[in-house]
Copies of this chain bind each other. A is one copy, B any other.
Amino acid sequence: MSDTPSKTIARLSTQSSDFERELTQLLAWEGVSDASVQQRVDEILADVKTRGDAAVIDATNRFDRLSVSHIDELRLSAAQLEAAFESLPDEQRDALAAAAERIRCYHERQKPTSWQYEEADGTVLGQQVTPLDRAGIYVPGGKAAYPSSVLMNAIPAHVAGVRELIMVVPTPDGAVNALVLAAAHLAGVDQVFTIGGAQAIGALAYGTQSVPRVDKIVGPGNIYVATAKRAVFGQVGIDMIAGPSEILVVSDGHTDPEWLAMDLFSQAEHDEDAQAILVSWDADHLAEVEAAIERLLPTLDREAIVRESLARRGALIHCADESQAIELINRIAPEHLELSVAEPERLLPEVRHAGAIFMGRYTAEALGDYCAGPNHVLPTSGTARFSSPLGVYDFQKRSSIIHCSAQGASELGKIASVLARGESLTAHARSAEYRIRR
């Protein structure tokens, strides 16, 4: 790598005395909504809670620039979804169906099962797994309307056995995305409302005269959607508050630099806040990737967005060796991790935190975004430290099962009695003591 700072993408070295500060700054992301956003969201939610459909219609007319007078104008029928699917070119329809099938297969493996075991005295303990009754899927409208997101959110819910799937997708200025509707058809969405923003989240969380109340809301959205989801959390379940998308690529120096450059671009093209970072212990290789970036940038359709994102949040990081690369992985806890190395299996047990791990030189992140099978809804901004990819488990919940035999209750009653009295909860103690055999 040259020593003059590149204008295109930052170059960092773990050898620099300032590295820790630089890295912290690079990773910093404050997804906090300011007080004015908070207040507007609170007002919209309160209005939807009180006035239901009427509030949803008013907000939709205002924010999406429509002139709707009845909620039925904000519904899409099953026939409309099917028509959208049938209207697609064969190639797109086939690709969408192939992706859906692979996503379904993978998620089938994820299903947790109920279990029980019996103790010597006949007491049975276990856990019963059940699906949610109803889930809501938020799909962004406008420029970030992605059919792949519809598949990734709806299919795990379906596999989980959710009884009813409600999708909301705003149509600003009336713009409808046929691919999104086709994906909803394919994924078995039951009802679609063309609403968005905090008003859609409120409608799903509280229910209105027309929009059924759901048990959990999943799917990405802008700051109003994220703020509204945080506000209704507890009233309904939510998936996560997503930050900008990011990738960390670790290369051993033997992957084609143009492949790596394009992998970084594929992240950076999402939006100006997206983050693409490459780590390698091979300085010459980093220089080659940098040259490939410069060479390929002018050929990109979304060149301006990529340039902005690389300049603001991208980095090529030179580290000492493989073990330092692993430290960086676990420090960053990336949403997407590409292990572009000869033996990725060897590194895998060392990876403690990552949303999805793309192993080897052939596994471009883009394959996982669309059709490999695993979910593309992943924990961002370091939240892979404690969060998982969206999955079947997000659409199910568990109930503990306790079935004491007469003898089991008698023995457990003695222990519970002592502990309850230790906590001064004597009604607890007496309730347990009734079951002790005399």
Give me the interface of A with B, judged by CB distance under 8 Å: 31, 91-92, 94-96, 98-99, 106, 109-110, 112, 115, 117, 123-125, 127-128, 130, 132-133, 146-148, 179, 215-216, 230, 233-234, 236-237, 240-241, 256, 258-259, 262-263, 265-266, 268-270, 300-302, 306, 337, 344-345, 348, 351-360, 362-375, 378-379, 383-389, 391, 393, 397-406, 408-409, 412-416, 418-420, 422-432, 434-435
Does A236 contact B416, Cβ atoms closer than 8 Å?
no
| A399 nearest CB neighbor, chain B only | B354
Residues A99 and B419 in contact in the complex (CB < 8 Å), given A356-B400, A388-B397: yes
**A367 to B420, alpha carbons, bound, how many Å?**
10
The answer to whether B398 touches A389, judged by C-beta atoms less than 8 angstroms apart, is yes
**Quick check: B363 and A422 within 8 Å, CB to CB?**
no
Asked if A258 contacts B434 (CB within 8 A), the reply is yes
Whether B369 contacts A420 by the Cβ 8 Å rule is: yes
Q: Which 8 A-B pairs have CB atoms at the shortest separation, nearest pair first?
A: A237-B386, A362-B409, A359-B403, A374-B400, A95-B418, A356-B400, A265-B427, A388-B398
The 6 listed contacts between A and B (C-beta, < 8 Å) are: A127-B374, A215-B385, A216-B386, A357-B400, A364-B409, A371-B415
Taking a contact as CB atoms closer than 8 A, the residue among B233, B371, B416 that contacts A366 in the complex is B416
Docked-complex contact B364 and A434, CB < 8 angstroms: yes
- If the complex has contacts A92-B418, A397-B384, are A409 and B367 also in contact, measured as CB distance less than 8 A? yes
Shortest distance between the CB of A402 and any CB in chain B (Å): 5
Q: Evaluate contact between A419 and B386: CB separation under 8 angstroms.
A: no
Q: Which residues of chain B come closer than 8 Å to A133, judged between CB atoms?
A: 352-353, 385
Cβ-closest chain B residue relative to A178: B422
For the complex with contacts A96-B419, A263-B431, A269-B426, 7 further pairs of A-B residues with Cβ separation under 8 Å are A92-B418, A302-B424, A366-B429, A367-B404, A371-B415, A374-B401, A389-B399
Name the B residues within 8 Å of A378 (CB-CB).
Answer: 400
CB-nearest residue of chain B to A337: B399
On whether the beta carbons of A369 and B428 are closer than 8 Å, the reply is yes
Closest Cβ neighbor of A305 among chain B residues: B427
Please tell me how many copies of the chain the complex holds. 2
Q: Are B132 and A385 in contact (CB under 8 A)?
A: yes
Whether B371 and A419, one on each chain, are in contact in the complex, defined by CB atoms closer than 8 angstroms, is yes
- Closest chain-B Cβ to A148's Cβ sits at a distance in Å of 6
Contact A366:B269 (CB < 8 A) given known A348-B401, A404-B372: no
Q: Which B residue's beta carbon lies closest to that of A217? A: B386
Instruction: Report the minimum CB–CB distance from A82 to chain B (whole Å).
Output: 18
Supposing A301-B424, A385-B132, A422-B92 touch, asked if A403 and B266 sit within 8 A by C-beta, the answer is no
Of all chain B residues, which has the CB nearest A393?
B393
B423 contacts A372, C-beta separation under 8 Å = no
Q: Within the assembled complex, what's the spacing in Å between the Cα atoms of A148 and B379?
A: 32
A130: chain B residues within 8 A (beta carbon):
351-353
Task: Among A31, A96, A399, A415, find the residue whose CB has the most chain B CB atoms closer than 10 A.
Answer: A399
Candidates B94, B262, B368, B403; contact of A427 at CB < 8 Å: B262
Cross-interface CB contact of A357 among B268, B337, B369, B402, cutoff 8 Å? B402
* CB within 8 Å for A431 and B366 given contacts A98-B415, A422-B147: yes
Q: Which of A92, A132, A431 has the most chain B CB atoms closer than 10 A to its own CB?
A: A431
Decide if B363 touches A409 in the complex (CB within 8 Å).
yes
The answer to whether A351 and B415 touch across the interface, beta carbons within 8 angstroms, is no
Smallest CB–CB gap between A227 and chain B, Å?
11
A301 touching B426, Cβ below 8 Å: yes
**Alpha-carbon gap, A240 to B109, bound state (A):** 27
Q: Judging by beta carbons under 8 Å apart, are B426 and A302 in contact?
A: yes
